[in-house]
Structure formats: C-alpha cells, structure tokens
Structure 1
Amino acid sequence: MHLLLIADTHLPKRAKTLPAEVWDAVTTADVVIHAGDWVDAALLDELEGRSARLVGVYGNNDGPELRNRLPEIARVELGGVRLAVIHETGSARGREARCDRWFPDTDVLVFGHSHIPWDTTTAGGLRLLNPGSPTDRRRQPHCTYQTAEISGGRLLDVVLHRLPRRDAEGDV
C-alpha cells in the first residue's frame, strides 16, 4: 500500500495550487494523508475527488468549514498498521515522550504544524512523521512531502521528497 503524506498546504495563501509533482503523487497513492492547515476547503474537495482514499485533519489555520468536515485527530488502520493523524504535537522538546503518552495504541503518528520534516521513533516504538510543507518552506531549504509503503503489517520505505524552489507567486 502506497502512502502520500502532506501537511501545511496553506492554499491559496502560500501557493495557488499544489506542485505538479505532488498532484502526480496523489494519483499513484493508495492513501493520501493530510495533517492539517489546508486553509481553503477547495483543496479538500479536490483531494477528495482525486484521491483513492483520503485521511485528513484540521489545523490551527483552518476555519469553521474545514473544522466541520474534518476531525482534530484521525485514526485508521491500514494494512495492519495503526495510524493516527493530528496537526499539532507541541514543541520538539519532549515530543517523543508526550506522543507516547497521547497515542499508546498507535504505530505511526503523522503530524504537521512546524513545516519542519521529522522522522523519529520514540522509546515506546511510535514512529513520528512530519512531511513538512509542499508549499511553504519557512526556514527550511526546500518544500517537502513524504511517501511510504505499508506491507506485511509494517511501515516501510519512508522517503522525504524535496521540491524545487518556487517563486513568491507559487510558480516553479
């Protein structure tokens, strides 16, 4: 099972649309996971229409329409892997221990908010993934997203993809 992980798209404030490379990844993914801060429900509509399956949550920059349509925390089992998705996990300091406490029955936690890619495993065995942002790199050198595979009840082949720099209008 092929996964696409994105977060912090901030459309149309940070870009007009998702980069073409991300849309291409949507078409090949079995499951698209969006960890919040969509900003505009039009992206949710488009991803719902173009994804084989979509799992998403709202973020702190998402208004009432998105909050009415999406949960704060999503939990799903995919191929025997227990995933949770949330936008915010708090500061990096103490994140692993905090997430172990918050998500004791979870194998993988996908989160966003910081726009900083993250891939660690906690002392309790919880895999923490933040795909960064495909549209707003902030202080990072590149905009990013992640892909992963699930096979045999395990998460495999997590890859961080770096996108080409975009201009202020969101064009490559």
Structure 2
Amino acid sequence: MRLLLIADTHVPKRARDMPAPVWAQAEAADAVVHAGDWVDVRLLDELERRCRRVIGVYGNNDGPSLRARLPEVATAELEGVRFAVVHETGPAKGREARCAAAYPDAEVLVFGHSHIPWDTTADTGLRLLNPGSPTDRRRQPHHTYMTVDVSGGRLGEVVLHTVAT
C-alpha cells in the first residue's frame, strides 16, 4: 500500500493549488494522509474526488466547514500498521515521550503544524512523521511531502520529497 503524507497545504491562502507533482502522487497513492491546515474545504473535496482514500484531521487554521467533516485526531489501520494523525504535537523538546504517552495504541503518528519535516522514533517504538508543507515552506529550504509503503504489518522506507518551485 502506497501512502502520501502531507500537511499544512494552506490552499488557497498560501498557494492557489497543490503542486502538480503532489497531485500526481495523490492520484497514484492508495491513501492520502493529511495532517491539517487545509484552510479551504474545496481542497478536501478535490482530494476525495481524485484519490482512493483520504485520512485527514483539521488544523488550527481550519474553520467550521472543515471541522464539521474532519476529526481532531484520526486513527486507521493500514496493512496491519496502526496510524494516528493529529495536527499539532507541541514543542519539539520532549515530543517523542509526550506523543508516545498520548498515542499508546499507535505505531506511527503523522503530524503537521510546524512545516518542518520530522522523522524520529520514540523509545516505545512509535514513529513520528511530519511531512513538512508542499506549499508553504516558511523558513525551510524546500517545500516537502513524504511517501511511504506499508505492507505485511510493516512500515517501509519513508521518503522525504522536495517540490521544485
């Protein structure tokens, strides 16, 4: 199973649309995981129209129309791997221990908010992944997203992709 991980798209506030390579990845993926800050419900509608499966949460920049359709925390079991998705996890310091305590049943936590790519593993084995942002890099050198393959109860290689601007 091929997953696309994205967050902090801020469409159309920071970008008119997602970049074409991200749309291509979304359409090819078995599931898209979006960790919040969509900004406009039209992006959710378009992802749901063009993609096989969308797992998403709302972020701090998402208004009532998105909050009515998305949870604050989403969970899903994909190919035997237990995922949790949330927008914000708090400060970087202590993140692994804090998230491991907050999501004890998850094997992978996908989060956003900071626009900073993140890939670490807590002492408990919880893998924490932040794909950055494909549209609003803030102080990062590149716009980014992640892909990962999941199969047989295992998380495959996590790849951080940059988006040419």
Q: Please give the TM-score of this superposition, normalised by the length of structure 2.
A: 0.99
* Partner residue, 1:162: 162
Superposition pairs of residues 22-171 of structure 1, within 5 angstroms: 22-165=22-165
- Structure 1: state its 5+ residue gaps: 166-172
Q: How many residues align?
A: 165
Q: Which amino acid aligns with 2:73?
A: I
* Partner residue, 2:2: 2
Separation in 1, partners of 2:87, 2:102 = 13
Note the C-alpha offset of 1:22: 0.2
Separation in 2, partners of 1:48, 1:152 = 26
Separation in 2, partners of 1:4, 1:78 = 13
Separation in 2, partners of 1:27, 1:55 = 14
Separation in 2, partners of 1:27, 1:35 = 18
Residue deviations 1:116-145 (CA, integer Å, cap 9, x gap): 000000001000000000000000000000
Note the C-alpha offset of 1:151: 1.0
Separation in 2, partners of 1:111, 1:134 = 14
Note the C-alpha offset of 1:57: 0.2
- Structure 2: state its 5+ residue gaps: none
Separation in 1, partners of 2:10, 2:105 = 30
DSSP 3-state at the match of 1:69: coil
Separation in 2, partners of 1:127, 1:47 = 25
* Partner residue, 1:168: none
DSSP 3-state at the match of 2:98: helix
DSSP 3-state at the match of 1:93: coil
Q: Which amino acid aligns with 2:29?
A: A
DSSP 3-state at the match of 1:136: coil
Q: Which amino acid aligns with 2:45?
A: D
Note the C-alpha offset of 1:27: 1.2
DSSP 3-state at the match of 2:21: helix
Q: Which amino acid aligns with 2:123?
A: A
For the aligned residue pairs, the C-alpha RMSD in angstroms reads 0.5
